[in-house]
Chains A and B, each alone.
Chain A
């Protein structure tokens, strides 16, 4: 679910969820007419969105890069859909943007706290489409950083190396698109330094033991050659 897309020049696959046929059509045309490429799929309910995303194990899932959902819908609201998507606990969850005709601070706060990337007040306008593009680009940057970190880990991993620490929870939490890849890169470098240090200490210990053994042997040879050892025999 949510295959990589959304980079520069790639079409962003958006799932638009709205029970109003008018709003679905307006949003669909707004996205398709924008300079940035969007591939739009529309459904009229949260339940159908879950089926399409494969969240309710019903049939095969389609790759979607972003969900744009209305807040107020019968049976399953956009907030319920948002929670269902975030409940998957994926390391790279699908961004969800909520739209509503109500500009209520409590509703906005509730959605953002639940993990929504953005909250757009209807009706959607051209300027709102760029915000959607930015949400998609932020997810793409996070995916690239996670993939780079995984590659670095696979190159330094050895049999006696300590297990890598669990990926910080902050990587999955809401952060700016610039801070997320920097944090992951910094964590990778720190762990690589720790592995090198432990190897060095082990080598140093072995060297000290070897040096001590050589010194003891030298002392024994010295005493034997000086005859002290033989003169002590009965």
Chain B
């Protein structure tokens, strides 16, 4: 009974993430791969990798923007990598933030990049919080069954 209630809560949570634009179709693809049965825990593993990767990349970008002379090519490469990994897990808001970042480093605008990084980090932290709630619910469901 508790497991059913938790499952309903989890489904509602995921549905709200889709509705708010945190997730896109790619996340559904990952869920389907997991539901096929051959890779349990696949989604949490991949999302966990994404969270670690995104934290590392945003830290590196912040470090580059703190330099007296900003290497915008490196910033470009890092943002491109984060955009790719967010697209691969279906983290739509993070992906869109990376796309918005593009115009600022193309223009070699340091202040614009700093602002874009702040927005990107906000989106990433929000997404991370939502994912963590999702995993907590999954763990509770597993504990109940």
Contacts and interface: CB of A to CB of B under 8 A. Distances in A.
Verify that A and B bind, or say they do not: yes
Nearest to B49: A22
A123 B46 CA distance: 13
Interface of A: 19-23, 25-26, 29-30, 32-33, 70, 72, 74, 101, 122-126
B45 to A, nearest CB: 7
Q: Give the interface SS of chain B, mostly helix, strand, loop or mixed.
A: helix
A30 B80 CA distance: 22
B77 A72 contact: yes
A20 B29 contact: no
Most A CB contacts (10 A, CB to CB) among B30, B33, B46, B84 go to: B84
Interface residues of B, number: 24
A45 to B, nearest CB: 13
B27 to A, nearest CB: 10
Given A122-B87, A123-B29, 17 more contacts: A21-B49, A21-B53, A22-B85, A23-B85, A23-B88, A26-B46, A29-B46, A30-B33, A32-B38, A32-B39, A33-B33, A33-B39, A72-B84, A101-B84, A122-B84, A123-B26, A126-B32
Contacts of A74: 77
Contact of B36 (A33, A122, A123): A33
B29 A125 contact: yes
Contacts of B88: 20, 22-23, 26, 122-124
Nearest to A121: B87
Nearest to A18: B84
A146 B90 CA distance: 44
A124 B25 CA distance: 12
Nearest to A27: B88
Contacts of A33: 33, 36, 38-39
A125 B31 CA distance: 12
B42 A29 contact: yes
Interface string B81-93: 1011101111000
B85 A20 contact: yes
Given A33-B39, A74-B77, A123 B45 contact: no
B50 interface: yes
B89 A72 contact: no
A26 B88 CA distance: 7
